[in-house]
Chain A
């Protein structure tokens, strides 16, 4: 189906130069013919007759003069029912099917349909002949897992269309003609359950974009309480290697209160994807009682897979997220790691011999990162419903130093920053998010005055800790020492959370609020503790009981027993409130 052909005139790594006489557009897809194989590539620069294409495959064996078929189409994904539970590569090839066909290894030049063609979907129409529709409007629905998957008018159909034909209720495959619509000029269009959409173009078939306000519950205490993320918001997790970025995202992907999770494993280890892949089908989603896989899509372009497709993978992921948002759902996109995507851009920019910016990243790095995160958002659909895409991306800064281009460009555009610290991860204080250096612009599940009070204790405790390193415990006053112990206590029992404990791994909002109030009681309390060793002993004991308490099932007998014990312990030593507690006390 080539629109136009060209010939290879140069090859440099995964970039080829092509000459053509025909008309071409930027980001158009071309196929390079190598023997029997056709290798997918994308036009990334046009200068007169000469084109540069990034090749999504290994370029071994390509020769000068080889033919390139230019398709005239941009790089697109297939949208329709059947996306959930899938495991795709960066170009939306289903990996399990690929494995069935090719065995252990990925074979270049094999592209399979993203959506299963044989599955029949139970269609219920929601329009009748004569109705007027436009892009993004539903023509009907099919059940997909627990969702009513909307069959929509393709987002590219601008203007109004009259429904001329619509299928009656029944079972159909994705490529069956479901409706015929007629535009204002009388031209008819045949619509099926699926259509293609260019990955680098945001889907905007909604009424308006709104400010994210509702919290996205992650069930991670330090996040929900201190460094919250809103539905439709953006956040980033920079951190040195081994600090816990991936584990944090894995835990979030399991427990977050959203409808759909899309995991974009971008240029990281294949082994980590395998963990998710093997684990999710066995895990039960507490909200639905079904397997977690039913709310998940995995886009997986791991570090040894072709680099150009790594760049495409984050766009593939966000396009699928936007698609489901059009159904009034909340989608969480987790990308690990955005640095690998930025590096893919850097490699290509180098081959194009563009003028390099800092650390050889291209000058447009910032704007590309910004426009990616801009695709998150809370929207009101034309139906009046709300939908959201929340994006969380990890960043892998060179040398663990946040003063590098990708971290800095990302920090400019996100709404929350969860910075992981080497010091905390070395001390096994997980999740190793630095509580004082990180920030969030979104609102917490807990009253902001209370949170501020606790944050202040952390801050002062940290100061005392620093001072103590110089003057020793001997040189510290008992009041200061108590602040230090309280901050340490808050860190141990609230900020730190055991991701591998069945109960502690995910803490409901209700429980966080409950726990936080007990904690505030301690933080704001005046205690009858005369000596430092008394004080240390008291807090050590309290901490131990609290850790057991955190591990007990919410409102179980054990929970109540431990709570009673803790309250007794506190009341035994507490003799009043500190003077500075006014800001959070209810009148």
Chain B
């Protein structure tokens, strides 16, 4: 079987100018994060108390914090933490959710009821509360943040996958495969998952934005990446004590959190719309 047609893939990626621009902005952000050691003007952890809390200037575009560290460099390195933590946690969550959801949806019956009631335990709590709870149990740090975020979003992916699988299971083409003599593995891997996965992935993209927010919140509470590793949430937390005499310390990471969330949403939105167009083309 062939993969998706490359031309169609491009079509999906550039549905509207706005989402294309957001996609480019996101790409720049990711590149900045990846190449942080080369693009950032200063190391993120070198302290110089003599220049503490300086306003933005030609030397330090975003200013310096109360240890005299360059805020721009820390924002760029912070992007590494924020993006990697949220991407890894959403990937984990997606992976787990798809597997549990697919099993529950496909098998139905008591497997479904058991699986869903376990997953639904996490559905009752607001994501932030759940994440705080888990980090409180596991102790602060990047790894616990990743696990906490992954669990917080698990129910969402499980439910979505499960509904997708249940709807697809009733489609005639699945019955057609069965009638040819297909086994459960073929049905799941060839018919159900490939058709179910697209909307789940789009939701995962959109959730990455929320995960960045969640990561920042945990960092703000001092539960995320531990100093001196910079994270946007952590920077905002330390910046909050200097809110009035050095507002730039808190504002810049805040802007980056907001921008990345907006870009991710715009981009995801565009993709959703493109998928929708494709779906309409099919049902015509």
Instruction: State yes or no: do A and B come from one complex.
Output: no
Interface residues of A (CB under 8 A from B): none
